[in-house]
Amino acid sequence: MVRPVVLDVDTGVDDAMALLLAARHPALDLRAVTCVGGNASVDDVVSNTALVLHTCGRPDIPVARGAERPLLEPPQEARHVHGRDGMADLGWVRPDVPPDPRHAVELLRDLLREAAARDPSQRITLLPLGPLTNIALLMRTWPDAAAGLAEIVFMGGAAQTGNATASAEFNVWHDPEAAAIVLESAAELGVPVRMYGLDVFYDVRVGLDRARELVAVGGRGPVELAGRLLEFSCARFQAADATIGDAGAVCAVIDPEGLSTRRLPVRVELTGTWSRGRTVVDRRDWAGDLSHDPHGVAPAVVEVALEVDGGRYADLWLSTVAGEHRVAEQ
């Protein structure tokens, strides 16, 4: 079965790795890509996203510009991680194509309403890989569109650790209110949610030697792009390998067996002196006496990824993005 998917991205080095996989894997039908400000400004995100899709030979996929900033706070970009242009400063030729005329949230609404009107196999799996601003706006503005969703698989949060702060993962930290709205709305609207967070994010890795082989293919195609993104990440973190990052969430849709998840209640910390933006993942055994807890169980129960078969997902990504059959196409 080919699964219809939409990626919501803040491209972003590892969002680019996710786009390379989603645009090229035969089990996925990438219907559109919506953009949100996060790692870089939304205009750079649109440009970076178009660059990746064009390089993959998929300029047909609509790309829409979405929220410029979080719901409450000013944007806080991560160019120190992703480069001045937000995507590794590769000097790649940028296609001169305008984005879809609709706002990202309108494009999502239209695609989801269309999917809701068709048979259930056409429901869309939505993969938010950046701050959840667009998705929160969608769910609050047009909650009926949720009927077109099969599932939300988002990269964000963590049960254990943070990266933007000691407590909070970047995507949730960047727009905590949006993340809280998405979890709450999904629970209300009956949309299943899987959380691909930092507990697994760093565990799917490709070595620098492999990255160099991909770069050597040349031709400014998807294989060279994949290699250059990995090389950039290795250099940035002075490491001999790099995570495929957000691309792991795409792997989770293609190959759910590679991931261990548990259904757990999740809340987003919206205040907190040191912990704003943290996902509070409740791993308590509710069989015990928890009557003293004033908060009770969170209404949003999420499939939280706790372990991943990193080698399996790295192979899936490589064989799709840069496998021998793909290399032969260059």
- In residues, how long is the chain? 330
The minimum distance between CB 240 and Ca ion, in angstroms, equals: 23
Q: Which CB, 243 or 261, lies closer to Ca ion?
A: 243
The dihedral through the CA atoms of 305, 258, 206, 22 has a sign that is: negative
Q: What is the DSSP letter of 176?
A: H
Q: Which CB, 4 or 130, lies closer to Ca ion?
A: 130
Q: Which CB, 92 or 201, lies closer to Ca ion?
A: 201
Question: Residue 175's binding partner, choosing from ligand BDR, Ca ion, none, with beta-carbon cut-off 5 to 8 A by kind?
Answer: none
Contacts with Ca ion, 236-255, as mask; x by CB under 5 A: ----------x---------
In sequence order, the β-bridge partners of residue 206 are: 242
The minimum distance between CB 226 and ligand BDR, in angstroms, equals: 16
The minimum distance between CB 6 and ligand BDR, in angstroms, equals: 16
The minimum distance between CB 295 and Ca ion, in angstroms, equals: 30
- Interface region with Ca ion, contact rule CB under 5 A, candidates 14-22, 25-33, 67-75, 269-277: 14-22
By CB under 5 A, residue 157 contacts Ca ion: no
- Interface region with Ca ion, contact rule CB under 5 A, candidates 112-120, 123-131, 136-144, 303-311: 123-131
Q: Are 53 and 63 in contact (CB under 8 A)?
A: yes
By CB under 5 A, residue 308 contacts Ca ion: no
Q: How far apart are CA 178 and CA 152, in angstroms?
A: 14
Q: Which CB, 4 or 12, lies closer to Ca ion?
A: 12
In sequence order, the β-bridge partners of residue 263 are: 303
Question: Residue 227's binding partner, choosing from ligand BDR, Ca ion, none, with beta-carbon cut-off 5 to 8 A by kind?
Answer: none
Q: How far apart are CA 25 and CA 144, in angstroms?
A: 30
Q: Which CB, 198 or 300, lies closer to ligand BDR?
A: 198
> Which stretches of the chain bind ligand BDR, using CB under 6 A?
12, 14-15, 39, 78, 81, 129-130, 155, 163, 169-171, 245-246
In sequence order, the β-bridge partners of residue 67 are: none
Question: Residue 231's binding partner, choosing from Ca ion, ligand BDR, none, with beta-carbon cut-off 5 to 8 A by kind?
Answer: none
Per-residue burial over 77-103, b = 16 or more CB atoms within 10 Å of its CB, e = otherwise: bbeebbbebbbbebebeeeeeebbebb
By CB under 5 A, residue 130 contacts Ca ion: yes
In the sheet that 149-155 helps form, which strands lie side by side, from edge to edge? 63-65, 28-35, 3-9, 124-128, 149-155, 193-196, 301-308, 259-268, 279-281
* Residues 6 or more apart whose Cβ sits within 8 Å of residue 241: 205, 206, 207, 208, 234
The minimum distance between CB 232 and Ca ion, in angstroms, equals: 15
Q: Which CB, 110 or 246, lies closer to Ca ion?
A: 246
Beta strands in 156-251 (DSSP E): 193-196, 205-207, 241-243
The minimum distance between CB 10 and Ca ion, in angstroms, equals: 5
Q: Which residues are at the interface with Ca ion (CB under 5 A)?
A: 10, 12, 15, 129-130, 246
